[in-house]
Amino acid sequence: MARKYFGTDGIRGLTNVAPMTAEMAMKVGMAAGKHFQRGDHRHRVVIGKDTRLSGYMLESAMVAGFTSVGMDVVLLGPMPTPAVAMLTTSMRADIGVMISASHNPYSDNGIKLFGPDGYKLSDEDEAAIEALLASEVALAPAAEIGRARRVEDARGRYIHFAKSTFPDDLRLDGLKVVVDCANGAAYQVAPSALWELGAEVVAIGVEPNGKNINDQVGSTAPTTLQETVVASGAAIGIALDGDADRLIVVDETGAIVDGDQLMATIAGGWARQGRLAGGGVVATVMSNLGLERHLAAQGLGLVRTAVGDRYVLEKMRASGYNLGGEQSGHIILSDYATTGDGLVAALQVLAELQRAGAPASEVLHRFDPLPQLLKNVRFKGGQPLEAEAVKAAIAESEAELDGSGRLLIRKSGTEPLIRVMAEGEDRAQIERLVDRICDAVQKAAA
């Protein structure tokens, strides 16, 4: 059954416009709370958020929803998404909530839910919660209404956890690191963790005001990071997104290192140490063909999934892999975390850099990527991919590639966008094919 509210990463939308309203947040709290009231113990939910202005409103609404059905609430304040997942399990909570729209602008917000095991919800759980959203949820008797409390040391708990994933035999002393926290959820924890490990930290994107999250900073806008790395003479730059589950790196020359290169770096190091499970890496259909060829040259495999870190994780769990991720920088290290963790992934990259004793520009660019181009076409409604003109443009482009590259055209799971990607040996050809398909989609969506 098609889900009405849940996309590929929870519920997301423009704040104060359905479904991202305080009323909906309260209803989600009631429905999710009722769904996860299993067993006869006192039930608990952990709630974190990023730094968006609307986070206060949605947090309060969700507290009302959860407590109204008898769940106790633990409030973490601004915390990375992976910290919420980790603290959900360590605090023995029945459910975890992250209020965030990730890399989107401040005007958007979202609700991500985690089960008691710290993993994002299954399709079945989301369907059950949606069914409850459409019904009258029974409220708790007056004596059984839940309580809410704020945990003041949540940041310290996550910093300790993140540092524990860094190899015991290594230090970051003498390494100048620029960290861009996107004015988001990691604005306190990421610089602190790096400093405690010995790095000389230059922090940017650490002055959130409720409206500047992801605004010309962070993993989706790395220009400021690039400029700061070069100007400060840093060895490396680390960019997180608004909820810190995504990582992009900049080397000492200012060149960007994407998620594919980072997965190649970590995979190579773990394979040498005998730590890489499954004999390879799990990535999405968006990952560059160059990554696949690079891994194959080392006797390692690449398994592809649909776009979305939840699908990467599902494949990792089903097939015994411990490294997977997306080109966009969601990197899942299942030895440590149940979801993507930008800071933990960055620490593994820094470990490889320290072991190599060479500049980031030499260590982190592991393969030459094939020309790849992705463009987004916004649409207001309908099914533009079903238009005959769009189908014809796609078929014509596939025929022109004739097996020498790839096309990937899909609807975004979080925004009203059609994403058009092409990859191949000839950049000019790739640009022409993408423009052809985008033009057809635009006309169909008009």
Beta-ladder partners of 150: 75
Distinct helix (H) and strand (E) counts, the chain: 14, 18
The Cα–Cα gap between 416 and 434 comes to: 18
Chain centre to alpha carbon of residue 293? 25
- Residue 192 bears catalytic tag: no
Residues near 36 by beta carbon (within 8 Å), at least 6 away in sequence: 43, 45, 71, 94, 95, 115, 116
CB of 19 within 8 A of CB of 11? yes
Which position has the token pair 């973490």?
76
Kindly tell me the sign of the dihedral angle through the C-alpha atoms of 407, 410, 412, 416: positive
Rg over CA atoms, the chain: 22
Residue 19: is the preceding peptide bond cis (ω within 30°)?
A: yes
Query: What does the block give as tokens for 20?
Result: 């991202």
Name residue 213's amino acid: I
The Cα–Cα gap between 367 and 112 comes to: 34
Query: What does the block give as tokens for 331?
Result: 């990197």
Where would I find the H helices in 49-187? Answer: 54-68, 81-90, 123-133, 154-164
Closest to 87 (Cα-Cα) out of 180, 154, 5: 154
The Cα–Cα gap between 91 and 75 comes to: 12
The Cα–Cα gap between 225 and 212 comes to: 16
CB of 416 within 8 A of CB of 379? yes
Rounded to the nearest 10°, the torsion over CA 423, 426, 428, 430 is -20
Q: Which of 54, 102, 219, 328 is catalytic?
A: 102
Phi, psi values for residue 150, rounded to 5°:
-105, 135
Question: For the chain, how are helix, strand and coil distributed in percent, rounded to 5?
Answer: 40, 20, 40
The Cα–Cα gap between 95 and 43 comes to: 9
Sheet holding 108-114, edge to edge: 11-14, 108-114, 95-99, 44-49, 72-78, 148-150
Residues near 403 by beta carbon (within 8 Å), at least 6 away in sequence: none
- Residues identified as active-site: 102
